[in-house]
């Protein structure tokens, strides 16, 4: 299926429109699933009923999340709109409304407990996620040239939505980052000695910069342990560390630290934003550091901070603070006579 002319045409269309490799894989997967569900029927011969049955199958039989339902529908709409040049009119299946869940955040003490059981690259990546508010792929894609020790800043190239931005570089990570850069340089020198040394980049950059991509400044701070063939252009390159490797180490650390919360790489980004707001950082500044286009996306963290950010105190706590009592005496609420 992956090598069929139709699927290769879909892949070409995705790359022509500069979709990320991750999105390409997702869209290809869901289109394949649609075709297999309908007995290998070609999408040109399908009608709305075939698509609706497939989406209902995902929701009812597979019990996928609303986000996964929407991703499958996006892939199908893309295929029909851009490859078959046909709009899905009258489809009795809209995008699922995902529940609005407040993000899980960690206290500084919980972050410290997790960091205390980590070592090496895993610890440094986690510290960057929490200290700079990075997404996991942004941390792994960081190159040597993106780090500015003098200004204490990190350059995030083509973050989510292909947006560039600057964020904080924690001063406490300078020595660890410099040690990691030396490790990356050792690997790069070995690659050059064997006739390689090119880093992986988007296709447009490879054509533009060519052999410049062998310069150390272009190398990933967290390089992969092996070289690979570039999925678009076919040249031998060294990619960055894969996120699955980090996720596995993170799960182990969370168990060892005895954290009773569901913790993912993104949890540290949530905790970064929440902590900044608790410290009184302007929400516009937090928006810029996180790279959010819409302020409403950042405002969800004000709900996590709650009354601590606004300085609001519970009326019950006010009574407790005003109550005059003996230091060791138990606290009691006294009924006051009503004014006449």
pLDDT digits (tens, 9 = 90+) for 184-214: 999 999 999 999 999 998 877 777 888 888 9
Instruction: Tell me how far apart the terminal alpha carbons of the chain are, to the nearest angstrom.
Output: 85
For the stretch 7-46, pLDDT in tens is 999 999 998 888 888 899 999 999 999 999 999 999 999 9
pTM: 0.77
**Does pLDDT of 167 surpass 60?**
yes
Q: pLDDT above 90 covers what percent of the chain?
A: 66
Q: Is 269 a catalytic residue?
A: yes
Which position among 130, 135, 238, 275 bears the catalytic label? 135
Q: pLDDT value at position 338? A: 46
Q: pLDDT value at position 317? A: 66
Q: Is 135 a catalytic residue?
A: yes
Sheet strand arrangement including 147-148: 147-148, 153-156, 165-168
Mean pLDDT computed over 313-331: 60
**238 three-class SS:** strand
Contact 116, 149 (CB under 8 A): no
The alpha carbons of the chain give a radius of gyration, in whole angstroms, of 26
For the stretch 59-78, pLDDT in tens is 899 999 888 999 999 999 99
Mean pLDDT computed over 150-179: 90
Mean pLDDT computed over 311-323: 66
Mean pLDDT computed over 286-297: 89
Residues β-bridged to residue 156? 165
- DSSP alpha helix (H) spans, 17-168: 21-37, 48-56, 66-78, 108-116, 120-132, 136-140
Which position among 113, 158, 266, 309 bears the catalytic label? 266
Which position among 160, 165, 183, 214 bears the catalytic label? 160
Contact 283, 157 (CB under 8 A): no
DSSP state of 81: I
Q: What percent of the chain is helix, strand and coil (3-state, nearest 5)? A: 55, 5, 35
Q: Is 189 a catalytic residue?
A: no
For the stretch 98-145, pLDDT in tens is 666 788 999 999 999 999 999 999 999 999 999 999 999 999 999 999
Q: Is 266 a catalytic residue?
A: yes
Which position among 206, 269, 270, 275 bears the catalytic label? 269
DSSP state of 172: G
Q: pLDDT above 70 covers what percent of the chain?
A: 88
What are the structural domains of the chain?
5-83 (1.10.150.130), 103-309 (1.10.443.10)
Confidence of residue 219 (pLDDT cuts 50, 70, 90): very high
Question: How far is 239 from 221, CA to CA, in rounded Å?
Answer: 10
Which position among 130, 220, 246, 301 bears the catalytic label? 301
Q: pLDDT value at position 92? A: 80
**Does pLDDT of 156 surpass 50?**
yes
Q: pLDDT value at position 335? A: 46
- Looking up tokens 């603070």 gives 321
Q: pLDDT value at position 186? A: 96
Question: How far is 319 from 316, CA to CA, in rounded Å?
Answer: 5
CA–chain centroid gap for 67, Å, is 15
């Amino acid at each position: 299926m992956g090598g069929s002319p139709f699927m290769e045409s879909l892949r070409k269309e995705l790359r022509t429109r500069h979709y990320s490799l991750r999105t390409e894989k997702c869209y290809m997967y869901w289109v394949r699933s649609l075709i297999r569900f309908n007995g290998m029927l070609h999408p040109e011969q399908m009608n709305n009923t075939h698509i609706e049955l497939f989406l209902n199958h995902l929701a009812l039989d597979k019990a996928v999340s609303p986000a996964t339902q929407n991703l499958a529908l996006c892939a199908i709409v893309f295929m029909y709109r851009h490859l078959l040049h046909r709009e899905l009119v009258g489809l009795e299946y809209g995008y699922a409304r995902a529940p609005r869940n407040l993000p899980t955040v960690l206290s500084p003490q919980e972050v410290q407990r997790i960091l205390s059981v980590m070592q090496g690259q895993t610890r440094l990546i986690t510290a960057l996620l929490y200290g700079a508010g990075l997404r996991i792929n942004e941390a792994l894609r960081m190159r040597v040239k993106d780090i500015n020790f003098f200004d204490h800043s990190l350059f995030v190239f083509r973050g989510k939505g292909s947006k560039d931005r600057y964020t904080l570089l924690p001063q406490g990570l300078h020595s660890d980052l410099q040690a990691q850069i030396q490790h990356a340089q050792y690997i790069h020198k070995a690659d050059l000695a064997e006739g390689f040394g090119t880093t992986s980049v988007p296709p447009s950059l490879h054509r533009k910069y060519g052999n410049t991509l062998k310069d150390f400044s272009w190398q990933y701070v967290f390089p992969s342990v092996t070289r690979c063939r570039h999925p678009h252009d076919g040249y031998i390159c060294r990619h960055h560390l894969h996120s699955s490797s980090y996720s596995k180490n993170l799960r182990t650390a969370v168990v060892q630290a005895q954290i009773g919360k569901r913790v993912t790489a993104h949890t540290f980004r949530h905790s970064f934003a929440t902590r900044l707001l608790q410290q009184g950082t302007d929400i516009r500044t937090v928006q810029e550091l996180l790279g959010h286009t819409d302020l409403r996306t950042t405002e969800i963290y004000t709900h996590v901070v709650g009354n601590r950010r606004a300085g609001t105190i519970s009326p019950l706590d006010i009574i407790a603070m005003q109550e005059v009592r003996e230091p060791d005496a138990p606290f009691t609420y006294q009924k006051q006579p009503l004014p006449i």
